[in-house]
Amino acid sequence: MIPPFEARIANPTLRRTAERLEVLQVNVGRRCNLACGHCHMESGPNRTELMTRKTMEHVLRVLRSWKFKTLDITGGAPEMTPNFQWLVEEGIKSGAHVMVRSNLVILNEPGYEHLPEFFAEHGVEVVASLPYYTERDCDRQRGSGTFRTVIAMLQKLNALGYGRDERLPLDLVYNPGGAFLPPNQAELEREYKTRLSADFDVIFNRLFAITNTPVGRFGDFLRRTGNFDRYRQRLHDAFNPAALEGMMCRFQLSAAWDGGLYDCDFNQAAKLPVKGPANIRDLGDVPEGREIAFGEHCYACTAGAGSSCGGATA
């Protein structure tokens, strides 16, 4: 029997967000050129949920009035949402640090090839998913041919200054290829750096090791393979109280393609809305810190070294 996640949080302060939120994460759409087996948002080429310009205007209003430091744009493949470039430009004009979570494969598709230059010109931080540094493991998770394309795009970003120029950070995301926890992030980062540099002359700044959350397509995969209960138990057994302080929901607000508000992207996937105004269009003044909506999937954020969109937290 797995106890409710809240019951593991002894300090009531950690059940609420920090007074000052730092990141506004915006999931601008479910459409994606890929359909990865681990995708918690169940994104793919046939999804039609895309953020409208009107909702983006509300995002920008809240970004400015709440003085968020970072606008973190994700999807789907966020590049496929209409007005994506406008959102990036307006976010930067607002003084925020803008980061885009890209699968990089999209940057090689017709109509998107100009985006590496666009990112570099605007000083956008690129966070790129690369499940492993070998072709076989990467293609198994993301689809045949993806590894080679991602490497070519990393080389292109490097040529534009990414990974070298401090104005142009390039981070990679690792996630396990099955029902297990990520290895030590620092060691894995060293391995990635050594291999990618030696094999492909690719450099990057940081590696984020992210634990797979048992929701969405990854949850379905676990059920299909008879691993769901074992994985839930594994996350629970690996509970690390030291990871509570750094849970990303304590410092961010997450908006979905339709403006729906959540504590994080995983709560979006689990359909667990924020305790407060349900939609970004209804948000007014900055609140003093809100109670976080937790679910059983939250154990993924506190297992082992902890996990967040920025990697390990403990």
Binding mask 157-186 for ligand SF4 (x = CB under 6 A): ------------------------------
**Which residue in the set 297, 306, 312, 313 belongs to the binding site for ligand SF4 (CB under 6 A)?**
297
Site for ligand SF4 in 36-95 (CB under 6 A): 36, 39, 41, 43, 75-77
- Segment contacting ligand SF4 by CB under 6 A, of 166-174, 204-212, 221-229, 260-268: 260-268
**Which residue in the set 21, 24, 28, 32 belongs to the binding site for ligand SF4 (CB under 6 A)?**
32
- Taking the least distance from each CB to ligand SF4, the nearer of 129 and 158 is 129
Instruction: Tell me how far, at minimum, the Cβ of 248 lies from ligand SF4, in Å.
Output: 5
Spatial distance between the Cα atoms of 120 and 111, rounded to a whole number of angstroms? 17
Beta-carbon contacts of 94 under 8 Å, excluding residues fewer than 6 positions away, are: 60, 63, 64, 71
- Segment contacting ligand SF4 by CB under 6 A, of 7-15, 32-40, 59-67, 117-125: 32-40
Contacting residues toward ligand SF4, per CB under 6 A: 32, 34-36, 39, 41, 43, 75-77, 103, 129, 247-249, 263-264, 266-267, 292, 294, 297-298, 301
